[in-house]
Structure 1
Amino acid sequence: MKNLVLSSKSTFKEAIRMIDTNGNGFLAVVDDANKLVGILTDGDIRRAILDDKTNLLEIINKDPVVMDINATRKQVVHKLKELHRKHMPIVDSNMVLQDVITLDDEEFDLKPNWVVIMAGGLGTRLGDLTKHTPKPMLMVGDKPMLEHIMEMFISHGFTKFILSVNYKSEIIRQHFKDGYELGVEIKYLEETKRLGTGGALSLINTEIKEPFFVTNGDVITSVDYEKLLDYHNKNNSSATMCVRKSSYQIPYGVIEIDSQNNILNLQEKPEHNYYINTGIYVLSPDVLKHVPKNEFFDLPTLFTLLNDEGYVNKSYEINDYWIDMGLPDDYVSIVNKMESNNKH
C-alpha cells in the first residue's frame, strides 16, 4: 500500500512523480495521523494542469467513497464494480486509512472491445420532447437514456465508448465529457451531415483490433452483451445483427384462391411471425473497409454488401427486455418500466 499513499503536505510535483511511479493512477492522501483526507487520480492531475492549479488540497477529492475495515474483499470488489472504479480506501471508524484495495484488469474483467453508440438522431417523431434535447438525452428516471445504455455495457465490463453525435451534440458532450465521472473512456465522432446508422463508422480514427458493438442511441435492452460477443466470435461472424421475433395478426379472415376464383383455403385472422432488426450489432474490424467515406449509409445495407461478398453474417435472437424509443408512447413505456424497477 506504501506507493499508493501520499502525505497531505506533499507538493504538486511530488504527487505527479508518485502517481507516475506507481502506475495505478491513484493516490490516497492522508494527514500526519494517517487519517484519510481525500484521494487523487491522474484525471484530477490533468484537470489541475489545465486549470493552472497546484495546491494539492484544492485538487483532491475530499469526499471519496470508502469502505469499513470489516468489509469482506468480496463486498469491496462488488462495490468497486458497481462504481466502475479500481481502487477503494479502507478505513476504520475514525477514518484512519488501513488499506487500499486495488483490482487489476483481469479481476475487474475489463474488455478491450469498443462500443459505438449512434447518438446523433433528430428524434423528429418524438415531437416537442426533442425540440431542445437530443433524443438519447431524454431523462429516464434520474439520468439520460444514453447513460442507461452505457451502464448496461459497463456492467458487462465494456468501458470504451465512441459516441457518434450531431443534433445538439454539445448537450451530450457537456454531460459525459471524457467519461471520467462514469469511470470509462469516451471518444466522439462529430457528424457534420446526416450519415445514417452506418455512415458515421467511416469517421472512426481510433485503431480497432477487436470486434466492436454498434447500437442505436434510442434502444434500451437487458441483453447479455458478453454472451452476444461470445456468440459472434464462436461463429466466426463478420457481422452479427440482434433480431427479435415479432408477429402481426391480420384482423380478417384470409382467403386463398386460384386463377379461376376457386376458394382453396380459408384462415381466420392468421398470425404471421417474422424477425425485426433491433438496432444492436457486433462487427469485426475488417468490415469497416466496406463503409463508404462520409456518405449516408445504413447498417442493413452493410449486411447486404457483406452477403454479396461471401462474408459470414449471423443473426442473434434476443428474448430479453427491448424497446426502441421512436414514438412518445415508447418513451412513456421506458419511463414507466424504470419507475417500476426502482420500486422493486
Structure 2
Amino acid sequence: MDINKVIINRNKNIRQAMQAIDNASKKVLFIVDEDSKLIGSLSDGDIRRWILKNGSLDAGVDSIMNKNPITLNTKDLQKAMMIMRKKGITAIPIIQENRKIIDICFWAEEDLDCQKTINAKVVIMAGGKGERLMPYTSIVPKPLIPIGEKPIIELVIDSFKNYGCKEFFITVNYKKNMLKAYLEELDKDYKIKYVEEDKPLGTGGSLYFLKNDINSTFFVSNCDILLETDYADIMNFHRTSKNIITVVTSLKKYTVPYGVVNINSDGSINSLIEKPSADYLVNTGVYVVEPDVLNYLNDNEFMHITDLIAKCLRDNKRVGTYPISEDAWMDMGQFEDMEKMKKRLDR
C-alpha cells in the first residue's frame, strides 16, 4: 500500500487522524514533524481511550501519540514479524538514520485474520415494520431490502460470520414468513434460530425468550446497520472492561444551522455564536451483552434495550461504550442513509 496513507503531520488534530485511519483501513498512524522525521505513533486504541476520557477531538495528535514507537532499519527487516507478534502490534516503520520513514512493515492479513475468531452467538433484531422506509416495507420486510446484490440482513450476518460467529438468533414479527422463507433458501454454513413474537416486545423484551439458549457473552445487533470495525476487538474491550453491557457508539459531529443566542438573566444578549457544533457519541444499535442481563427480563413484557440498560445502571452494574468513527457506521434506517450505504459498499 501507499505508506503515505498512514503517515500524518504533527500539526493535524485527532479528528483528522480518525479520518486518516478510516481512509487507510489500518489501525495505526505514524506521526512526523515538519522535516518528515518520525516522532511518534497513534493507534485507534489510543484515540478510543482519549474519547472515553472526554478528550477534545481538536487536540493535536502529538498530545496523545506514543513518543517511542518501535522502529527497524533495513538490516533488521527479518525480525519484523517476530517483534510484531511479541509486542502485539500490527505495523513497524522502517527508518533511515535521520528517522525518515522509507517503508512500513505490516502484519500479514492472513496472520492477522487467524487471531480474530470469537465464535460468539449473535441476536439480530428483525421484527420491526421499518416505517421510515415505507412504501418499500409495505411490500417486503426491512431486513430483505437489497443493498447491492444481497439484502441487508445477509450483509449483517456476513459481517459477524467473518469473525467465526456460527449461531444466529433472529427476532421476527412483521412479514416473518417472507423473511424466514428467504433465509431458509440460503446455502449457509451457520445456524439460524427464530425468536417469534406474537406481539412487538421491543429490542429488549424479545431477549427474554433466549434465556435457555444463551449462557455466554453475546452480540445484539439491529438488522439495518453495518459496522466497518473489528468485532474481535470490541469483544476483547468488553471483557477487559468487565462490562455487563457494552454499547458500540459512533462519534457524530452535529452543527446547528443557525446563529445561537446566549442571554443574560435580564434577557439581554450575552453572546451570539454562528452555527455552533458539538460532538456526540451516538448509539449504533450494536451491543455486547452478558447472559446475566437476561435475568432483568419478564415474560411478555415490552422493553427497549435502552430501558434494559437503565435497569442495569440502577443496580450499579457497569455499562460501557466502545466508540468508533462516524465513517465506520452505516445505517439504512432512512432513504438517504440507505443510498449512502449502497454507495459506500460499491466502492
Using the size of structure 1 for normalisation, the TM-score is 0.64
Residue number among 129, 133, 145 corresponding to 1:138 in the alignment: 145
In structure 2, the residue matched to 1:325 is 332
Preserved CA contact (<8 Å) 1:112 1:210? no
* Cα distance between partner residues in 1 of 2:321 and 2:117: 26
* Cα distance between partner residues in 1 of 2:257 and 2:213: 52
In structure 2, the residue matched to 1:304 is 310
Residue number among 176, 180, 190 corresponding to 1:173 in the alignment: 180
Letter in 2 for 1:219: I
Q: Does 1:209 align with 2:219?
A: no
Structure 1 residue 305 displacement after superposition: 0.8
Unmatched 5+ stretches in structure 1: 1-106
* Cα distance between partner residues in 1 of 2:202 and 2:123: 14
Residue number among 230, 237, 241 corresponding to 2:243 in the alignment: 237
Query: What per-residue deviation string (whole Å, max 9, x for no partner) do you get for residues 18-51 of structure 1?
Result: xxxxxxxxxxxxxxxxxxxxxxxxxxxxxxxxxx
Structure 1 residue 261 displacement after superposition: 2.6
In structure 2, the residue matched to 1:276 is 282
Structure 1 residue 330 displacement after superposition: 1.9
In structure 2, the residue matched to 1:96 is none
Structure 1 residue 265 displacement after superposition: 2.6
* Cα distance between partner residues in 2 of 1:109 and 1:255: 50
- Percent sequence identity is 35
Q: For residues 141 and 242 of structure 1, do their structure 2 counterparts lie closer, same or farther at Cα, with a shift above 3 Å needed?
A: same
Structure 1 residue 272 displacement after superposition: 2.0
* Cα distance between partner residues in 2 of 1:264 and 1:231: 44
1:93-242 map, 5 Å: 111-177=118-184, 181-242=187-248
* DSSP 3-state at the match of 2:166: strand
* Cα distance between partner residues in 1 of 2:182 and 2:196: 16
Alignment length, in residue pairs? 233
* Cα distance between partner residues in 1 of 2:262 and 2:158: 50
* DSSP 3-state at the match of 1:177: helix
* Cα distance between partner residues in 1 of 2:115 and 2:194: 25
Letter in 1 for 2:331: D
* Cα distance between partner residues in 1 of 2:154 and 2:213: 24
Structure 1 residue 111 displacement after superposition: 3.7
Q: Displaced runs of 4+ in structure 1, greater than 6 A?
A: none
Q: For residues 262 and 329 of structure 1, do their structure 2 counterparts lie closer, same or farther at Cα, with a shift above 3 Å needed?
A: closer
Letter in 2 for 1:129: Y
* DSSP 3-state at the match of 1:293: coil
Query: What per-residue deviation string (whole Å, max 9, x for no partner) do you get for residues 105-150 of structure 1?
Result: xx79754421000011101111121112110111111111100000
Structure 1 residue 177 displacement after superposition: 2.3
Q: For residues 228 and 194 of structure 1, do their structure 2 counterparts lie closer, same or farther at Cα, with a shift above 3 Å needed?
A: same
Higher CA-based Rg? 1
Q: Does 1:260 align with 2:266?
A: yes
Letter in 1 for 2:309: F
* DSSP 3-state at the match of 2:134: helix
Aligned CA-pair RMSD: 1.9
* Cα distance between partner residues in 1 of 2:227 and 2:119: 22
In structure 1, the residue matched to 2:343 is 336
In structure 2, the residue matched to 1:69 is none
